[in-house]
Amino acid sequence: MAERNTGFGGLELLDTATEITKWNNEAHAIGLKVLEEREKEERARQEEKARLKRPMHSLNFTPVPAAKAIVAENVAKLYLLVQKRNITPVFEFTELGIQSFGATLKISDRVFTAEGPFSSKKEAKETVARLGVEFLTDNPDLSNPLPKTGGGVPSGGQGVVTELNLRCQKLKMAVPEYTLPETAKGQFSATLVLGGMSFEEKGPFTSKKLAKEAVAKHGLTHLENASLPAAAGASSVELSAKLHSFIDRHRLDPAKFEITELGVTPLKYRVQLHLDGETIQNAGPFSTKQEAQNAITIQALVFLEQKYRANEENWVELLNIFAQSSIKQPPTYEDFQETSTRQNLWSSEVSIALRPQQPFGRRDLPFGSKKLARQNAAREAILWLREHDHLREDGPPKKKQKKHSSSVSSSSGSNRGDADIGISYAQQVNGMSTPYSTTKDKIPPPPPTTPVPQTQPN
Euclidean distance between CA atoms 431 and 429, whole angstroms: 5
User: Residue 204 belongs to what H/E stretch?
Assistant: strand 197-205
The pTM assigned to this predicted structure is 0.33
Residue 409 phi/psi, 5-degree rounding, is: -65, -30
| Residue 278 three-state SS | strand
Q: How deeply is 119 buried, as exposed, middle or buried, from its count of CB atoms within 10 A (0-12, 13-18, 19+)?
A: middle
**Pick from 123, 127, 100: which is nearest to 112 by CA?**
127
pLDDT at 143: 63
Q: Does 453 sit behind a cis peptide bond, omega within 30 degrees of 0 on the bond before it?
A: no
pLDDT recorded at residue 458: 45
Q: Where are the domains of the chain?
A: 315-397
Edge-first strand order for the sheet with 346-352 is 61-64, 332-338, 346-352, 355-360
Say if residue 448 is preceded by a cis peptide, omega within 30 of 0: no
Q: With 70 as the cut, is the pLDDT of residue 60 above it?
A: no
The three-class DSSP label of residue 389 is coil
Q: What is the pLDDT of residues 160-184, one digit of tens each?
A: 888 887 777 766 566 788 888 888 8
Q: How confident is the model at residue 232 (pLDDT cuts 50, 70, 90)?
A: very low
Which spans in 226-288 are helix H?
236-249
133's torsion region: left (phi>0), alpha (psi -120 to 50) or beta? alpha
Specify which of 118-132, 362-376, 424-438 reaches the highest per-range mean pLDDT. Answer: 118-132
The correct CATH number of 315-397 out of 1.10.3720.10, 3.30.160.20, 3.30.420.40, 3.30.930.10 is 3.30.160.20
Half-sphere exposure of 414 (CA within 13 A, CB side): 3
With 0-12 / 13-18 / 19 or more C-beta atoms within 10 angstroms meaning exposed / middle / buried, residue 282 is buried
Question: C-alpha angle 277/279/285, rounded to 5°?
Answer: 165
In this predicted structure, the answer to whether residue 334 has a pLDDT above a threshold of 80 is yes
Report whether pLDDT(279) > 70: yes
Q: What proportion of the chain, given as a percentage, has pLDDT over 70?
A: 63
- Range with top average pLDDT, 22-31, 192-201, 281-290, 370-379: 370-379
Of 155, 225, 154, 233, the closest CA to residue 194 belongs to: 225
Closest CA to 452 of 383, 382, 391: 391
Q: What is the pLDDT of residue 416?
A: 39
Strands 278-286 and 182-184, sheet pairing: unpaired
CB burial of 416-446 (b: ≥16 within 10 Å; e: otherwise) equals ebeeebebebbeebeeebeebeeeebeeeee
431 falls in which pLDDT band (50, 70, 90)?
Answer: very low
Which pLDDT tens digit goes with each residue over 367-406?
777 888 888 899 899 989 988 888 876 655 544 444 443 3
Between 158 and 97, the more confident residue is 97
Q: How far apart are CA 378 and CA 446, in angstroms?
A: 12
Distance of alpha carbon 151 from the chain centroid:
29
Residues in Cβ contact with 324 at an 8 Å cutoff, skipping those fewer than 6 apart? 330
Taking only Cα atoms into account, the Rg of the chain, rounded to an integer number of angstroms, comes to 30
